[in-house]
Amino acid sequence: MILPWHQTLWTRLAAAGERGHHALLLAGPPGGGKRQFAEAVAAARLCDRPGAEGYACGECEACTWRAAGTHPDLFRLVPEADEAADDVSEADKESAKSRQIKVEQIRQLQDSLTRKGHRGDRRVVLVDPAEAMNAVTANGLLKLLEEPPVGVLFLLITRAPDRLLPTIRSRAQRWDFPAPDAAQASAWLAEQGIKDSATWLGFAGGMPVAAEELSSGPLAACRARFVKDITTLPQRDPVELAGTWDTWLRSKDAQAAAFDMPRLADWLLRWYADLAAAASGAPLRYFTDAESALRGLTRGWNAEEALGCYNDGLNLRRVAAHPLNARLLLEDTLLRYCRRLATGRTA
């Protein structure tokens, strides 16, 4: 189903029908529903009898196959880390998974597209996220975009279109997915039964799909623990907390919630952003439910150290996905944080 704030985009796309571009670049910040839109486009393209508004019927054989994940004419190019089998041990996943879309996947796609589709020419290739392609992989996809097979629709989902090759961008029609206005997003969250929608929407940067995911699943418990832990500093030993967090990240609960080092780094950056806002007397954005603690931490704190924390957060996020020693990285991060809290006092 199309999200309310995407209805105008859907109407434009449905009006073009199969006369539209052979490649669509769906660009926008994460958590706004680009993936849902792409799935709806793929479903409609493969459906045997789409409705008047262009939606898939959801009942035909093609829709049944797609819903079961077995449609032979729907190709997904995703990083290995996103397609690891559930019956593979966590240790094996860590050793084998990749956060990139590999060139071997493109080669397999090229081979598949040289053959006739199972249900005619209508086929869909979904690349998610497109920025996960390295230069070699992207050039392989470029060859397909330059001479697209008949009836194939390419859907490229990205949060960072500028990281794609200019030649890729030039051969795809770009559709931008901005964040919806706050009133529309809050109304949608209320319809989903999300309580305190303003807090979750703020934490998700105004992106309602991300807010729903964060508030209604195991990530909500992770966020509560994160706030509880981070507010114990600087009274708590930062090295001890780094060890606790390292163990937490490797726990089954954290892995089941998809709570990993990149996500933790992102949450720390949001905490630092609110620290800088609190230090300057500005409204908080991400942790409005922890405003009292943040205002207390930054009382008498100078802006230079507040901005220094934010820069530390940016540096952490750059390396968070790399195979470094997580505990040492966390120790350095939390020691820097406590040092800045101590040295930034002006009163």
For the chain, which residues make up each domain, given as ranges?
A: 4-176, 181-216, 219-343
Task: Quote the DSSP letter at residue 195.
Answer: S
Cα 57 to chain centroid, rounded = 28
Nearest CA-CA partner of 201 in 5, 26, 32: 32
Q: pLDDT-based confidence at 83, cuts 50/70/90?
A: low
Rounded to two decimals, what is the model's pTM?
A: 0.83
Share of the chain above pLDDT 90, in %: 68
For the cut 80, the answer to whether the pLDDT of residue 89 exceeds it is: no
How far apart are the C-alpha atoms of 89 and 169, rounded to whole Å? Answer: 38
How far apart are the C-alpha atoms of 199 and 3, rounded to whole Å? Answer: 21
For the cut 50, the answer to whether the pLDDT of residue 239 exceeds it is: yes
Q: What's the CATH architecture for 4-176?
A: 3-Layer(aba) Sandwich (3.40)
pLDDT of residue 86: 40
Q: pLDDT-based confidence at 153, cuts 50/70/90?
A: very high
CATH code at 219-343: 1.20.272
107 membership: H or E segment, kind and range: helix 103-113
Mean pLDDT of the chain: 89
If you count them, how many residues does the chain have?
347
What does the buried/exposed string (b/e) look like for 119-144 if buried means 16 or more CB atoms within 10 Å of the residue's CB? eeebbbbbbbbbbbbeeebbebbbeb
How far apart are the C-alpha atoms of 155 and 151, rounded to whole Å? Answer: 13
Q: Is it true that 4-176 and 219-343 share their CATH fold?
A: no
What does the buried/exposed string (b/e) look like for 56-68 if buried means 16 or more CB atoms within 10 Å of the residue's CB? beeeeebbebbee
Average pLDDT rounded to a whole number, residues 84-90 = 40
Per the DSSP assignment, residues forming a β-bridge with 126 are 76, 155
Encode pLDDT of 163-188 as tens digits. 999 999 999 999 999 888 889 999 99
pLDDT of residue 91: 39
Q: Are residues 142 and 11 in contact, defined by beta-carbon separation less than 8 angstroms?
A: no
pLDDT of residue 329: 94
Share of the chain above pLDDT 70, in %: 94
How far apart are the C-alpha atoms of 188 and 197, rounded to whole Å? Answer: 9
Cα three-residue angle 267-35-110, rounded to 5 degrees: 115
How far apart are the C-alpha atoms of 84 and 178, rounded to whole Å? Answer: 31
Residue given tokens 């105004």 in the structure block: 206
How far apart are the C-alpha atoms of 258 and 205, rounded to whole Å? Answer: 19
3-class DSSP state of 100: coil
